[in-house]
Chains A and B, each alone.
Chain A
């Protein structure tokens, strides 16, 4: 053990002799290891081609509509006699075999919008497609159930709409250390040393002071909690790998955060889709495989649920540039240890019964998935957050 590590450990040990910190430490242990459930959301931005991700390889229409874009039968990773995964998804197949993956097919919403921004908004705010909302579903979760801003963390430089509530916003940070560094100038501490909370609540200026104090304490808390843990796992060396590595570090450190949000970009494959999607899906699956293993090694996987979505799927018929255009329904991946319905949750969409644009007709409203996750996993009142009652599914 080197000197620095020794000091760190011994100072931690000595703090246990003081009752208050001991109690605090104990609380954190209970909250983080005994059924403290966490949700990780992964957004595949740009509209992942779901039909080349989870593939109906027995369906002739699939090969007919995609003469140069379909994945050849022989290279598909078969899940059963009809359906298989894209060849880049080997790590996902492993999760599937272990019963840690549930694939929900044909997820969308009524009156689909094919604009990236708008459709992403709809997924993030969980509204009807003709309504606009300025808060996100996870932000509203924070409003009602979050204790601090750091109850939800996005591993990015700035916050997505999904993570903005009506009153509380989550925290965005790529690097807890630099966030902490920005906030810790002693100058800021000194200008509010003696402000008491009552005085701070009412006016806008008080609100700024309050936000500043909360931010300082969150930045410090996140940094100091997460720095105690380092991972030995080798993540792919790219920004998505780093995001998941940081997320695992947070989770394994026992941080008091319920929701994490990360994203992988580049799925808008209008042109020469094959190589681009191959690379993206490989990165997604490799990172996810490492991430799950990292959590498992630290005993936190059993209390983590990972949901992956994209703002829309793509058109069934390929376009003239060996790519695909914006479509509608898509698959959602749920990864976790306690899945009630493992593997394929439902059948794939019909490729013959399409809408006027030649797009899939959705079967499962994405908000029923949110409602289920909120209600059954985070154990909160989903209706309060989604402003509407949705059917519960039984994947968890």
Chain B
């Protein structure tokens, strides 16, 4: 496999690749590399924090008092922050790369959040469990998640008083896309999901007495449908396969859709709704590696952050600052803007986020310093400037960066060749000429220079 193609695959399916592994994989063929990725993700490693305190609170004797509710919320807020940090670490260090990237993808598809941490952690791991499984099982599992029944009000959906929120989003956002159902379809399917609820510990509960047992007419068919029946009927419509493949294409391949490629994918996906198979198909296709697809996507804030962490491991002394950075970049994990999720692509970029993105690598890795020493000179101001900037920015970004790890990983890479490992696209002419005029003081300083380019935002 071409080095460039391995890099491309690892940017889209992961968060970049380090030199040693890149050398190793470049010697294999495409099938072997793709199989390697898939096999490494056969296992499922849930991401769980210690929730004993909450579990105790939510055990049998729980009383729904204001004090208890508040306690659950307070602990949950704290735990959600911890999970955010743990998730970022997981993404940067995982062996189950494909599964983790897919989990991130699904988290922006089945968008949900909850103020009870036990439920949101369970939801989070349901995403991970089904990330490469069968899409039908996935949708059914999601519809029964405690957090989801709360988030989209299926819990309040009762025979006498149906709530259409979940039924609507199920079709609009999770399976078919807008315009492929009628308002009547929503009303009828909402009745099929009546009675969905959960117990205190987050397990699914079907409240039979609140379920509407009468006949529903949905997509031209009539019967005493329940929620799973509705999911089955929806998935019989090929539009569902198309809708999901479109979203995958946009996320993994290109913002600009190639209808032929999406249709190819939809044919494959519609056959069995197996997510692993469709991902394999995509990764093995020739078009995935077309020139127009390489280095042309804008990284999401998380891809950007995790990508940096993979090259130079960096830790935030105060974990809150990692969340603060996510806020400034416009994507706080576990805190989606609304049920439609983040739009992605160019929508990540505004005046604030672009400035932050360009400055961030130097801020967290190099005391805000980007070397500008002219060619043939050494950077004599570097140390004094760094000391000065350190004082200025430390309150906001107190980090520890492991440059010796970087130097070790890149020890066989020539400094003049560093950009080929760091950038997914060709450097613009002005930038290239300018960098050529600068001194490559050290690999570290050059790495920061490269990460501070708009080109580094691309994958």
Contacts and interface: CB of A to CB of B under 8 A. Distances in A.
Interface of A: 117-118, 121, 130, 132-134, 149-150, 157-159, 161, 164, 169-173, 179, 182-183, 185-188, 190-195, 203-205, 207-209, 211-212, 214-216, 218-219, 270-271, 320-321
A157 B327 contact: yes
Contacts of B32: none
Given A191-B431, A195-B430, A183 B66 contact: no
Given A132-B339, A157-B328, A204 B296 contact: yes
Given A132-B340, A205-B454, A191 B434 contact: yes
Contacts of A194: 429-430
A172 B352 contact: yes
A191 to B, nearest CB: 4
B41 interface: no
A215 B358 CA distance: 11
Given A158-B328, A195-B428, A188 B351 contact: no
Contacts of A172: 352
Given A132-B339, A186-B372, A193-B434, A149 B350 contact: yes
Contacts of B354: 208, 211-212, 215
18 contacts: A134-B338, A134-B343, A158-B352, A159-B350, A169-B350, A182-B359, A186-B372, A188-B452, A191-B434, A193-B430, A204-B296, A204-B346, A205-B458, A208-B354, A209-B428, A211-B354, A212-B355, A215-B352
Interface string B428-459: 11110011000000000000010011110110
A207 B425 contact: no
B214 to A, nearest CB: 23
Nearest to B351: A215
Contacts of A171: 350-352
Given A208-B354, A215-B355, A187 B296 contact: no
A212 B337 CA distance: 24
Contact of A205 (B168, B255, B425, B452): B425
Contacts of B346: 204, 207
A193 B429 CA distance: 10
B96 interface: no
A196 B225 CA distance: 61
A190 B425 CA distance: 19
Given A121-B338, A207-B349, A192 B297 contact: no
A192 B433 CA distance: 10
A159 B434 contact: no
B330 interface: yes
A205 B429 CA distance: 12
Nearest to A222: B351
A121 B430 CA distance: 42
A203 B358 CA distance: 18
B428 A191 contact: yes
Given A132-B340, A204-B346, A182 B356 contact: yes
Contacts of B431: 191-192
A215 B350 CA distance: 8
A209 B352 contact: no
A118 B370 contact: no
A171 B349 CA distance: 11
A134 B340 contact: yes
A14 B345 CA distance: 46
B351 A218 contact: yes
Contacts of B370: 185, 187
Contacts of A118: 338
The 8 closest A-B pairs by CB, nearest first: A169-B350, A215-B351, A191-B431, A208-B454, A211-B354, A187-B370, A132-B340, A149-B351
A208 B295 CA distance: 13
A205 B283 CA distance: 24
A179 B328 CA distance: 12
Contact of A173 (B327, B339, B352): B352
* Most chain A CB neighbours (cut-off 10 Å) among B339, B431, B435: B431
Contacts of B349: 207-208, 211
* Most chain A CB neighbours (cut-off 10 Å) among B349, B356, B430, B454: B454
A149 B350 CA distance: 8
Contacts of A195: 428, 430
* Most chain A CB neighbours (cut-off 10 Å) among B350, B449, B458: B350
Contact of B355 (A121, A157, A182, A192): A182
A133 B431 CA distance: 37
A251 B168 CA distance: 44
Nearest to B66: A321
B164 interface: yes
A29 B300 CA distance: 41
Contact of A214 (B351, B428, B435): B351
Contacts of A157: 327-328
B351 A191 contact: no
Given A182-B359, A191-B428, A192-B430, A159 B352 contact: yes
B107 interface: no
